[in-house]
Amino acid sequence: MARMPGATWRPVPNYTPNGQLEVRGLVVHIMDGTLAGTDAWFRNPASQASSHFGTSRDGRLYQWIDTQHRGWAQAGGNKSWLSIEDEGRGGQSLTEQQLDRVAEVFAWVVKTYDVPLKVATGPDDRGLGYHAMGGKAWGGHTSCPGAKIVAQLDEIVKRAAAIVGKKPTPGTGGGSKTPARYQASINGLKYGYGATGGHITKVGQALVARGFGKHYKSGPGPTWSDADTLNYQAFQRSLGLTGAAADGVPGEGSLKKLLGTLPGKAPSAPKYAPFPGAGFFSPGRRSELITLMGRRLVAEGCSAYAVGPGDHWTEADRLSYAKWQRKCGFSGADANGIPGPTTWAALKVPQPL
């Protein structure tokens, strides 16, 4: 049995008995929720999920599973790695209290399982890892725990080393050389392994222009590959960045230095309500769509409203719409105030939320 002194023991039913075949290190996760919610989730057999350890943002530490048993946190990585879930949402950093708790757990893992004091470079390495580094084999969770937490891994190792009383292990051993395979979101755009879009091509082109394109065999192209990661890592190192801050996945600072600005996601095209049919516009009809239509008529200078518009179809709506039909060039029976598909499309009434 292996339970960590100082951790609150909160046993859960979701685990594989005696299934921990080896311990290569500790994998850091983000809950994308609360400690209480995650604790409840791990007690539900239907969730098929669990972790060895968990932290709260105020510094509480739970142990859910004895480390001789296999947790259900990172798919193909479960049999070889212990896991720690951290309270928070995607895009957040760990708090100072969480950094201390994770460092304490990692120090205990180092002493208990003779794990090296370093950040692991991939699933076949040993040390302190993170969920996204396992790629598809570990469930494909490329945004867990997120770029900000990955950038904190070196600090966790440093604090763990102080607890153990040793210097961090140099990260140049015979471990995996798999590049980082998580994604970061900057200004609404994804960067990192598997991310796609024209913005990825522009990053690659900028790297080549700066002399950091040696890992491309073809390209650069619109899908982020290991070659993009390695080239970006070389650029990060040229800025003086080291450790997890130079893992090849963009951060805001390095991306702005590369491109001169931070690209943003283009706003989505406005959504207009489809024509509901002429029969929709009858006395007594009540709908938010009628209010939205009336506002557009007012904006187009076609108002016959004394008050409103409102959500009831009234004579004022019909007279206002007749003005719009005449403005669109219709007359006679074609400008009777009952909407038709042509004038409706031209009015661009927003889709109700």
Would you say residue 174 lies in a domain? Answer: yes
Alpha carbon 2 to its chain centroid, in Å, reads 33
Strands (E), 96-208: 127-130, 183-186, 189-192
Residues 278-282 have a mean pLDDT of 93
Would you say residue 286 lies in a domain? Answer: yes
Q: Which domain holds residue 330?
A: 278-347
User: Which of 78-87, 103-112, 129-138 comes out lowest in average pLDDT?
Assistant: 129-138
pLDDT of residue 172 exceeding 50, the answer is no
CATH number of the domain enclosing 343: 1.10.101
User: Given 267, 286, 311, which residue is the final one in a domain?
Assistant: 267
Asked whether the beta carbons of 81 and 176 are under 8 A apart, the reply is no
Residues 37-60 have a mean pLDDT of 96
Taking residue 285's Cβ as centre, other Cβ atoms within 10 Å add up to 16
Angular region, 301: left φ>0, alpha ψ -120 to 50, beta rest? left
Would you say residue 352 lies in a domain? Answer: no
Of the candidates 59, 55, 48, 58, the one whose C-alpha atom is nearest the C-alpha of residue 13 is: 48
Same domain, 73 and 213: no
pLDDT of residue 178 exceeding 70, the answer is no
Same domain, 24 and 139: yes
Residues 102-130 have a mean pLDDT of 94
Average pLDDT, the chain: 91
Percent of the chain with pLDDT over 90: 74
pLDDT of residue 244 exceeding 60, the answer is yes
pLDDT of residue 173 exceeding 80, the answer is no
pLDDT of residue 170 exceeding 90, the answer is no
User: Given 246, 267, 288, which residue is the final one in a domain?
Assistant: 267
192-226 pLDDT, tens digit each: 888 899 999 999 999 999 999 999 998 899 999 99
Alpha carbon 247 to its chain centroid, in Å, reads 18
pLDDT in the model for residue 175: 40
- Looking only at the bridges linking them, the beta strands covering 127-130 and 61-63 are unpaired
pLDDT band at residue 247, thresholds of 50, 70 and 90?
A: confident
Domain count, the chain: 3
pLDDT in the model for residue 264: 84
Asked whether the beta carbons of 140 and 193 are under 8 A apart, the reply is no
Torsion sign (Cα): 204, 209, 215, 218? positive
pLDDT in the model for residue 99: 98
CATH number of the domain enclosing 184: 1.10.101.10
For the full predicted model, state whether its pTM sits above 0.75: no
Residues 229-239 have a mean pLDDT of 95
Same domain, 51 and 169: yes
